[in-house]
Amino acid sequence: MFGDGVRCLVVVGSQWGDEGKGKIVDVLAKDADWIARYQGGANAGHTVRVGEDEFILHQIPSGVLYPGKRCALGNGMVLDPVTFFQEIDELKARGHEVEDRILVSFRIQLVLSYHKLLDRAQEESRGKGAIGTTGRGIGCAYEDKVARVGVRAVDLAVPDRLRELVESGAARANDKLRALGSQAEVDAAALYDELSALAPRLSARACDVGLALRKALDRGDKVLLEGAQGAMLDVDHGTYPFVTSSNTTAGAAATGVGLGPTALDAVLGVVKAYTTRVGSGPLPTELPEEEAARLRELGAEYGATTGRPRRTGWFDAAVVRYAARLNGVTALAVSKLDVLDPLPEVKLGVGYRLNGEEVEEFPADLSTLARIEPLYETMPGWGTPSSEARRLEELPAGARAYLDRIAELTGLPIRYVSVGTRRQQIIDAQD
């Protein structure tokens, strides 16, 4: 994707997250100089396989496993500093020294222990209406950001200010926890001590990420902006309120790292060859449990962050068309095609019907979403493995027909097809 005038590429999930972005970013990172995340936090779980080793990255960009690549965590993220350093230390223990190659925005908001306590207490209080969050404190940290009471990385360098922010944050959190009927209580002094102990290490990584990336682009470096979650979890455009608390779509990539929108040259939309969702909320092409379980087992569909079983369904072209429009997707990467190999037939959601009429656009309200009926096309399965294919021509004919139909229904060219978890199990349609 880099080259041909593309120096800054955004990679976005175009379903409900878990599309296999980690693997695609890892593959593309080979040709990038910088890989930066622009939203979300430790709610993400990007799985990358190098040789026999599997890594699940939560906050560190997926390209970090290539030696020498520079990584950045943008201001649009919410960073849990404790688990961030745990992640770095775990990579080190497994032979990957990455700390010196990672920059963190001065302006990044921090996820503190009280955000995680509040996230869980709020979810419990929602009862049946629970969103099914990852419990990582994401929504609560973004609430504080928007309320202008958050703690940012830059605050760690100013002890008095940090103490003030932590004390007022803990007091507010304790009030909210009590109101929610939670027994948990935040100890502001212990939290301040924990953050002070991390401060020198985090401050050593902190800088103006937007400036660093602008200078890199001006030098001719290639920059990959890695999205987390997916378009249907975007706080504005997703299946609200069953969404995450950030803008996951490509427009947020510019603000989320501190570049201007004209810096973005292309957008690669990653989709799974079928659909999954973890957590509550609408999923129009969801399969009945017996069939859903089969696809779940075939695709090992368990959350990379929480281990929760993912809900599964057929590929939904209406969702991907919507996501493509929102993101300005210029090409697709289709992942996990090999998972469908054993199925006798595959279905494709081509659109929706409501009260006997075709629905043109993805509905905004939950009650309409609950009533729409997906329209399906059925295609024969291909019954032969696709996992050894390295060129489109080497794919089983049925698999190619399936991909061609996806391209037709979404109106997008398919640039990459992933046929397994290993780095080399990828097809570049331009090869």
Footprint of ligand IMP (CB under 6 A): 17-18, 43-45, 131-134, 136, 138-139, 228-229, 233, 242, 244-245, 278-279
- By three-state DSSP, how is residue 340 classified? helix
Strand blocks (E) in 315-394? 315-316, 331-335, 345-354, 357-359, 373-380
Contacting residues for 364 by C-beta, under 8 A, at least 6 apart: 240
d(CA 420, CA 188): 47
Give yes or no: 404 in active site: no
Residues 388, 391, 393, 398, Cα dihedral to 10°:
50
Give CA 156 to chain center in angstroms: 27
- CB closer to ligand IMP out of 210 and 281: 281
Residues 307, 312, 316, 320, Cα dihedral to 10°:
0
Q: Shortest distance, CB of residue 43 to ligand IMP, whole angstroms?
A: 4
Element of type H or E holding 116: helix 113-126
User: Nearest residue to ligand IMP, using CB?
Assistant: 279
The neighbour count for residue 290, using CB atoms within 10 Å, is 7
Return the half-sphere exposure (C-beta side, CA atoms, 13 A cut-off) of residue 184.
18
Q: Shortest distance, CB of residue 41 to ligand IMP, whole angstroms?
A: 8
Give yes or no: 115 in active site: no
- CB closer to ligand IMP out of 112 and 156: 112
- CB closer to ligand IMP out of 211 and 364: 364
Q: Shortest distance, CB of residue 138 to ligand IMP, whole angstroms?
A: 4
- CB closer to ligand IMP out of 43 and 312: 43
Contacting residues for 197 by C-beta, under 8 A, at least 6 apart: none
d(CA 306, CA 20): 16
Structural tokens at position 363? 């509905």
Query: ∠ CA(190), CA(194), CA(196), 5° rounding?
Result: 115
Q: Shortest distance, CB of residue 123 to ligand IMP, whole angstroms?
A: 9
Q: Of 311, 261, 272, 282, which Cα lies nearest the Cα of 371? A: 282
- CB closer to ligand IMP out of 132 and 396: 132
- CB closer to ligand IMP out of 58 and 205: 58
Residue tagged active-site, from 26, 33, 46, 265: 46
φ and ψ at residue 73, rounded to 5 degrees: -110, 115
| 405 close to 348: Cβ distance less than 8 angstroms | yes
* End-to-end CA gap in the chain: 12
- CB closer to ligand IMP out of 51 and 307: 307
d(CA 130, CA 284): 19
Q: Shortest distance, CB of residue 354 to ligand IMP, whole angstroms?
A: 24
Q: Shortest distance, CB of residue 288 to ligand IMP, whole angstroms?
A: 21
- CB closer to ligand IMP out of 137 and 349: 137
Q: Shortest distance, CB of residue 32 to ligand IMP, whole angstroms?
A: 21
DSSP state string for 6-51? BSEEEEEE-SSS-SSHHHHHHHHHTT-SEEEE-SB-TT--EEEEET
Q: Shortest distance, CB of residue 417 to ligand IMP, whole angstroms?
A: 21
Structural tokens at position 151? 């703690």
- Residues annotated as catalytic are 18, 46
